[in-house]
Amino acid sequence: MTGPTPDTITVNGHRLWQSLMDLAEIGAYDDERTGLRGVDRLALTDADAAGRRQVIAWMEQAGLRVRIDRMGNIYGRREGTDPTAAPVLTGSHIDSVATAGAFDGCLGVLGGIEVVRILDERGISTRRPVEIGVFTEEEGVRFGTDMLGSAVAAGRLSPEYAHALTDRDGRTLGGELIRTGFHGPADVHLDPPYAYVECHIEQGPVLAENDVQVGVVTGVQGISWQEITIHGRAAHAGTTPTHLRADAGLAAARIGVHLRSMVDSGAYGELRATVGHLAVHPDLTNIVPARAELTVDLRNPDDARMARAEEDLTAFLRTLEDGTPGLTLATRRMAKTAYIPFDERLQKVIAQAADDHGLEHISLLSGAGHDAQEIAALCPTAMVFVRGEYDGISHNPREYSTPEACAHGVNVLATTLLRLATQ
Ligand code: HGY
Ligand code: MN
Ligand code: MN
Ligand code: MN
């Protein structure tokens, strides 16, 4: 049957948009260079804490019962008629990178709250409870491991490991949870939900290229993060002959070039490699760098090819070290996740909801990491992608989805959650 059925529900797109804009003002900054307004709300900073308090207020206004666990994960719960039934879970994250837009993660959290508001306004009760999760440190850019809160909730990482992680100023995540008041009492291990569906911006160009409004996500590619520290020898840039140098800066540059040659070789399938952080010390024009630090972000939908890329990079680092007297390299594993396929039955429920809303949709793999890839260890999991403008740029103040695109995605989420919660 095509076309709207009674459980094809639509949300209040204007109210959703307003809450997205209001939340984006918390941690907002003006980018002088571009004149754009960005968001800087790193996990467990004062801005993130203020954003969390705002989301909790909206959850409580929507009648949700709120709990906070030892990782600072926030859950808002709308009871069902059968309190013994496992809940349908939705949600995402509101922590951001330092140069963010208004939508990454926030759309999934505020979209979930909007779904609950509509269920109440329409007087719809569901057998299953509906819960909205707000997961801590999804971005991983402050404490170095991404999808951290959801990985602990799903039992892949321990709270002790997470609490001990430090930011670049040496502050621990555990200490920041206490300082901001988000070291909650609730059990950090999530009871397996009935299903988890997350709505998120695509953060890429595929939906727009195919001129469709909604993406049914088939899975998330694997992620490998490591930090490399290179120790060389400081030396005068003018007086030191090249053959006497142990140049840490040069070694870092060679690693970046080698990563690109690995990608271009095609030997690692659809490998993507990024050196996002690079610092040399003492970072002065006329001194050969004594030390360099860089991060390597690898992505690959094929776990075997990812493993081979990591091994070959390690071998290259050894060659670099052996080939330069006085140079030593140390690596630190920051994050590692495998390719995660999403639940096919849930993907069909999402696709049917999109059809019932008359929305064109395609299936696609997620290039970005998401909390859903962690929660998938607990229950059937899938995602709804929302189209982005400007080639889907993200992790940038230019990140933008139209009010209509956001409403389309959350309407599909709402109808999907309602259908699952009445099963
Ligand atoms: O890194 C990622 O893919 C995600 O945005 N945390
Ligand atoms: Mn995100
Ligand atoms: Mn992100
Ligand atoms: Mn993500």
Report the C-alpha gap between 130 and 85 in whole angstroms. Answer: 10
pLDDT category, 3, cuts 50, 70, 90?
low
CB of 297 closer than 6 A to ligand 1?
A: no
* Per-residue pLDDT at 374 exceeds 80: yes
Q: What is the mean pLDDT of residues 60-72?
A: 98
- pLDDT digit string, tens, across residues 275-317: 999 999 999 999 999 999 999 999 999 999 999 999 999 999 9
pTM: 0.95
33, burial (CB in 10 Å: exposed 0-12, middle 13-18, buried 19+): exposed
- pLDDT digit string, tens, across residues 324-339: 999 999 999 999 999 9
Q: What is the mean pLDDT of residues 212-239?
A: 97
Q: Which residues pair with 216 in a beta bridge?
A: 363, 384
Instruction: For residue 89, give the nearest of 152, 41, 150, 2 by alpha carbon.
Output: 150
pLDDT category, 106, cuts 50, 70, 90?
very high
Report the C-alpha gap between 375 and 394 in whole angstroms. Answer: 23
Q: Which atom of ligand 1 is nearest to the CA of 146?
A: 6
pLDDT category, 5, cuts 50, 70, 90?
confident
| CB proximity list for 16: less than 8 A, separation 6 or greater | 110, 111, 114, 403, 406, 407, 410
CATH number of 13-221+339-421: 3.40.630.10
In which residue ranges of the chain is CATH 3.40.630.10 found? 13-221+339-421
Q: What is the mean pLDDT of residues 217-233?
A: 98
Strand duo 195-201 + 65-68: pairing: unpaired
The verdict on whether omega for the bond into residue 282 sits within 30 degrees of 0, i.e. cis, is yes
Confidence (pLDDT) at 1: 43
Confidence (pLDDT) at 6: 78
CB of 368 closer than 6 A to ligand 1?
A: yes
Q: What is the mean pLDDT of residues 126-141?
A: 98
154: its two tokens: 């799903």
| CB proximity list for 292: less than 8 A, separation 6 or greater | 229, 230, 232, 248, 249, 251, 252, 278, 279, 280, 281
Q: How many CA atoms lie within 13 A of 23 on its CB side?
A: 33
Alpha-carbon radius of gyration of the chain: 23
3-state helix vs strand vs coil in the chain, percent to 5? 35, 25, 40
Measured in whole angstroms, the distance separating CA 291 from the mean position of its chain's CA atoms is 30
CB of 372 closer than 6 A to ligand 1?
A: no
Confidence (pLDDT) at 254: 98
- pLDDT digit string, tens, across residues 251-277: 999 999 999 999 999 999 999 999 999
Instruction: For residue 218, give the nearest of 356, 369, 384, 80 by alpha carbon.
Output: 384
To test ligand 1's pocket by mutation, which of 96, 107, 139, 340 has the most ligand atoms within 8 angstroms of CB?
A: 139
Report the C-alpha gap between 60 and 49 in whole angstroms. Answer: 16
In which residue ranges of the chain is CATH 3.30.70.360 found? 223-335
Confidence (pLDDT) at 4: 61
* Per-residue pLDDT at 217 exceeds 70: yes
- pLDDT digit string, tens, across residues 389-413: 999 999 999 999 999 999 999 999 9
User: In the chain, pLDDT over 90 holds for what percent of residues?
Assistant: 97
* Per-residue pLDDT at 241 exceeds 90: yes
CB of 95 closer than 6 A to ligand 1?
A: no
Number of other CB atoms surrounding residue 160 within 10 Å: 9
- Report residues near ion ligand 3: CB below 5 Å: 104
Quote the ipTM score.
0.88
CATH number of 223-335: 3.30.70.360
